[in-house]
C-alpha cells in the first residue's frame, strides 16, 4: 500500500513538472522570418543623440508594412547609413522626412509626441546590451 502511495506522489510530481516545462516551451516557437520582416535585432542610432531604437518587428510583422514602404526612399538598406546624414534630425522628421513620413499624427503617433517610445536613452541602450548599468552607477 505504501509503495503505491509513493508511486502516486512521484507520478503527480513528474506530471506537473512536465506540464510546467511544456507551458514554458510554447512561446519559443517563433514564426519571425528575417527575410520577410527584416533583421530581428533592433536598430540603434547614437547620432545625433544617444540612443534611439527601431524594431523591424513592430513595423513589419505587427503593423503590416512592406520592406519597400521605407526602403530605399526613406532609409537606405545599409545599416547606420541614415545617422551619417546631416539632416537626420527631429526637424526633418517634423517636415515628413525619415520616420516623420508616417509618424505625423495621422498614420502613426506624431514625431513630437511620446518621445521615450523611440528615445530609449543611454540607460535603455545599456539594458538592450544586457548591462543594467548598476555597476557604473554606484554612489
Residues that bind other proteins in the complex, under the rule CB under 8 A: 48-51, 114-117, 119-124, 136-139
CA 127 to chain centre: 12
Residue 54: CB minimum distance to other proteins, A: 15
Cβ distance to other proteins smaller for residue 1 or 23: 23
Distance CA 84, CA 46 (A): 10
Cβ distance to other proteins smaller for residue 36 or 117: 117
Residue 123: CB minimum distance to other proteins, A: 5
Contacts of 60 (CB under 8 A, 6+ apart): 36, 37, 38, 66, 67
Contacts of 74 (CB under 8 A, 6+ apart): 97, 98, 99, 101
Residue 118: CB minimum distance to other proteins, A: 9
Cβ distance to other proteins smaller for residue 20 or 136: 136
Q: How many CB atoms sit inside 10 A of residue 24's CB? A: 9
Cβ distance to other proteins smaller for residue 18 or 122: 122
Residue 90: CB minimum distance to other proteins, A: 9
Amino acid at each position: 500500500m505504501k509503495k503505491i502511495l509513493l508511486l502516486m506522489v512521484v507520478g503527480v510530481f513528474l506530471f506537473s513538472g512536465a506540464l510546467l516545462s511544456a507551458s514554458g516551451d510554447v512561446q519559443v516557437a517563433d514564426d519571425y522570418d528575417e527575410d520577410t520582416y527584416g533583421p530581428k535585432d533592433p536598430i540603434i542610432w547614437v547620432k545625433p543623440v544617444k540612443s534611439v531604437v527601431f524594431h523591424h518587428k513592430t513595423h513589419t510583422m505587427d503593423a503590416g508594412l512592406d520592406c519597400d514602404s521605407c526602403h530605399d526612399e526613406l532609409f537606405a538598406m545599409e545599416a547606420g547609413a541614415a545617422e551619417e546624414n546631416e539632416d537626420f534630425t527631429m526637424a526633418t522628421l517634423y517636415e515628413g522626412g525619415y520616420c516623420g513620413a508616417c509618424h505625423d499624427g495621422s498614420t502613426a503617433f506624431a514625431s513630437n509626441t511620446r518621445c521615450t517610445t523611440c528615445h530609449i536613452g543611454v540607460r535603455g541602450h545599456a539594458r538592450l546590451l544586457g548591462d543594467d548599468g548598476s555597476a557604473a552607477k554606484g554612489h
